[in-house]
Amino acid sequence: MAIDDQKYTGFGTSISDPGVLTVTFNQPETLNASTVPMKRDLIELLTQAQMDDRVRVVVFTGQGRGFWAGDNLKSYNQSTNGHMPPIDGGHHDELSTYNGLRTISQTVNTAVRHLDKLTIAAVNGFAIQTGFSFALACDFRIAARSAQLGSATLRFGLLPDEGGQWLLVQHLGVAKTMDFLMRKRIVDGQAAHELGLVHEVVDDDQLMLAAMELATELANGPQVAMRMLKRSINQAANMTWDQSLDEIAAKTAITDHLADAKEGGAAFREKRQPKFNAWLESDS
């Protein structure tokens, strides 16, 4: 069954040319707060997206006033079936909380960071706690002006336990992360842009247009080189200079000899726009 023909818990999917998978969180009555079945289905979706050559870029957004407003705290042990078989959601004692975080909640952000295809969070509304960390884990973020982004877990005596503290340090540095988390800040789209948490802020009614324009631009780029570059950029923060040189050289030894590189050189010489990804289009 195709990735866009399946029924998922908490979100719907659609694919449009040129290979843009749009994932829409569709529980507006809870501001798209996440449940265990939703997270497990999302992990499965990301696995399918990795292996589906039709998918080049993934856009995430939400229905209603929420992008993804944290966890539905009543859902930890719900038995509702999602795409995956039911499972204990954890959080009923210390060990089950650890297991639930490592196996389910944290795996969502790991999966989106490990996805080779580029991802865009089109933040339409409340992106709080879990949803905020998820947006930070995506490669690009575009926010509506009215969006509200933050962790604010300390309001409940809780921690940003899906890796939010690490992701924020990557974006803000230690000092600003300390201020943002300890003072329980929630900021609108404009302030998020000024802080560097989102790449672009747009009027609310322009959000999906801007997201799809970016997605189309990225989807038309040389996919193999872009996927290798995504991995290289994410690894660079944890590498020494010499390690990063060797890592990018190994990837370049592949990309320099692909059809996309030949097309890029020919297009430059002929003063025209390159047409990449013939290997994908021939299989579509």
pLDDT, tens digit (0-9, with 9 covering 90-100), for 124-168: 999 999 999 999 999 999 999 999 999 989 998 989 989 999 999
Phi and psi, residue 119, nearest 5°: -125, 145
For residue 262, what are the contacts with CB-CB under 8 A and spacing of at least 6?
none
Contact 201, 193 (CB under 8 A): yes
Is the pLDDT assigned to residue 282 strictly greater than 70?
A: no
Are 215 and 227 part of one and the same domain?
no
Residue numbers of the domain that contains 153:
11-219
Decide if 35 is inside a domain: yes
Q: Count structural domains, the chain.
A: 2
Asked whether residue 243 falls in the same domain as residue 211, the answer is no
Query: Please, what is the average pLDDT of the chain?
Result: 93
CATH number at residue 178: 3.90.226.10
- The predicted pLDDT at position 4 comes to 79
Q: Does 6 fall in a domain?
A: no
Same domain, 55 and 130: yes
Number of neighbouring beta carbons within 10 Å of residue 29: 9
Residue 200 sits in the same domain as residue 187: yes
In this prediction the pTM is: 0.94
pLDDT in tens, 228-276: 999 999 999 889 999 999 999 999 999 999 999 999 999 999 999 999 9
- pLDDT band of residue 79 (cuts 50, 70, 90) is very low
Mean pLDDT of 83-87: 73
Q: Is residue 2 part of a domain?
A: no
Tokens for 45, please give them.
């979706």
